[in-house]
Structure 1
Amino acid sequence: MDVKPINRKSIYQDIVLQIRAMIERGELTPGDKLPPERRLAEMFSVSRNTVREAIKALAQKDILESRQGAGTFVRVADADSFAEAFAGSIVRSQPRLKDIFEVRKLVEPEIAALAARNASPSDITWMENVISEQEEAAQAGKMTSELDQLFHEILAEASGNSVMRIMIGALHDEFVESRISVLQSKDRQQRSLEAHKAIVDAIKGGHIMQAEKAMREHLEEVERIVFADK
């Protein structure tokens, strides 16, 4: 596993973020067993208690599952089959990019509004950590599309609606190509970061209408960029 040094200000959240990123990249797949706590603690250079905190947080999100006497596994949820079927139907129908944007503009502003109502402090910290990772990657001249996708999926989780999370995960799998196009320059990466920060600020303040508006404006800007490149 490819792990990074841990930010001491938010240790367990950084571990959560890295494990989630491993799952997103396919390095860990549903049913996989994680290394023992002792080994994870050595890999991340943290205490076993910190590893337990991270595992507990991921288990609460239904991402990991601890089985007594067996270890910790990447969760295989019933929702996975729904997500696969949903994503498969999108692939089979071969929708136009415009159709994807129309769905996103219908769904994601509402997700942001729900997150402003339901996000926990740990959800907000998680979003802020992703934005920090995104900023560091952009400054280093790296692509930020994976972190952009992760931000939107965390936002869907923070909404408190599990079906929203599944839908966004499936839609984003089909949206990788356009995301790479949008985030291909430093200027565009910076604009995306500013939009994400505005969304999180609204969520952090519990401003439902402001969060919805910030997300809608973000999607409209992304859509303009995508179709300007066509």
Structure 2
Amino acid sequence: MPFQPVQQEKLAQGVVRQIELLILRGLLRPGERLPSERELAERMGVSRPSLREAIAELQGRGLLESRAGSGVFVVEILTSTYSKALIDLFANHEEAVFDYVSFRRDLEGMAAERAARFGSDTDLKIIDTVFRKMEAAHGKKNPADEAALDAEFHLAIIEASHNIIMLHTMRAMFDLLKAGVFYNRQQMFRHRETRGILLEQHRAINEAIQARDSEKARAAAEAHMTYVETVLGDLRKADKNEGIARLRYQHELGRE
């Protein structure tokens, strides 16, 4: 018979499993600092030696890292998700930008649909709270805060979809975006008219999710990413036109 003796799980393994799940479910984020050893041991109800054993195992597996004088952190996953060579290819080839937007349109449409269906009431409160912050930031002349909240809004929806594969995939995608690999997010908010349209699109996504209208939420998210693709195309065309115009201007000055 395929039965084995039941063994009590070591406390250290219980700690390992709990931290694993927190990372897997996105509750502990890349780069996030864990509480101090004393505080964490008290919270989890284990001895400090058991906690140290668990931390050492998670460090050995590349999930946690110790920084001298700073504490223990969840590892940053950007470089391990994509090689530097591949990141450089993304950055240097324009077609990657539009494939990125197309990929996001498909996944974010699905995420918005799932958030409307499966998100808890608290998930929806988080999404709405981030959107309200976007509304407040919209009144500022500098678009930096609004651009940062844009990413936070979309990640809140992805978290509310409760699909851990989608969550970690899209976090890696947003890490690349934050690093400026695909495009400068603040360029999207450079013009006041564009900022207004983007805010209304985010409002439509939020309202559909709050109403738990999954079909409308998906359509709103997909329409938003289609608009982003159009704006990016226009911005790139404008940059090229400006480059040509500057060459023409320099040539004209040389003829004087």
2:80 is aligned with 1:85: yes
Output the CA distance in 1 between the equivalents of 2:81 and 2:187.
24
Judged with a 3 Å threshold, the aligned counterparts in structure 2 of structure 1 residues 190 and 75 are, in CA distance, closer, same or farther, namely: farther
Judged with a 3 Å threshold, the aligned counterparts in structure 2 of structure 1 residues 192 and 74 are, in CA distance, closer, same or farther, namely: farther
2:114 paired residue number: 114
1:159 paired residue number: 161
2:228 is aligned with 1:222: yes
Aligned length: 174
2:104 is aligned with 1:98: no
1:203 paired residue number: 209
Following superposition, the deviation at residue 84 of structure 1 comes to: 4.6
Output the CA distance in 2 between the equivalents of 1:172 and 1:159.
16
1:45 paired residue number: none
Amino acid at match of 1:166: H
Output the CA distance in 1 between the equivalents of 2:72 and 2:134.
25
Judged with a 3 Å threshold, the aligned counterparts in structure 2 of structure 1 residues 207 and 31 are, in CA distance, closer, same or farther, namely: same
User: Percentage identity across aligned positions?
Assistant: 23
Q: Which moved more, 1:173-182 or 1:87-96?
A: 87-96
Output the CA distance in 2 between the equivalents of 1:173 and 1:109.
19
1:174 paired residue number: 176
Output the CA distance in 1 between the equivalents of 2:210 and 2:192.
26
Q: Please, which of 184, 187, 190 is the counterpart of residue 196 of structure 2?
A: 190
Following superposition, the deviation at residue 197 of structure 1 comes to: 1.3
List per-residue Cα deviations over 1:15-63 (Å, max 9, x = no partner): xxxxx9xx99xxx9333437x99xxxxxxxxxxxxxxxxxxxxxxxxxx
**Structure 1: 4+ residue segments shifted above 4 A:** none
TM-score normalised to structure 1 length: 0.65
List per-residue Cα deviations over 1:103-128 (Å, max 9, x = no partner): 11221111111111111111111111
1:76 paired residue number: 74
Q: Is the 8 A contact 1:178 1:226 kept in 2?
A: no
2:136 paired residue number: 136
Following superposition, the deviation at residue 132 of structure 1 comes to: 1.3
Q: Is the 8 A contact 2:131 2:206 kept in 1?
A: no
Output the CA distance in 2 between the equivalents of 1:166 and 1:122.
21
Which stretches in structure 1 are left out of the alignment for 5+ residues?
1-19, 38-65
1:10 paired residue number: none
Output the CA distance in 2 between the equivalents of 1:108 and 1:191.
18
**Aligned with 2:32: secondary structure?**
coil
Q: Is the 8 A contact 1:87 1:171 kept in 2?
A: no
Question: Highest CA radius of gyration, 1 or 2?
Answer: 2
List per-residue Cα deviations over 1:60-95 (Å, max 9, x = no partner): xxxxxx54478xx98738xx65x6532447515426
Q: Is the 8 A contact 2:105 2:225 kept in 1?
A: yes
Output the CA distance in 2 between the equivalents of 1:133 and 1:97.
28
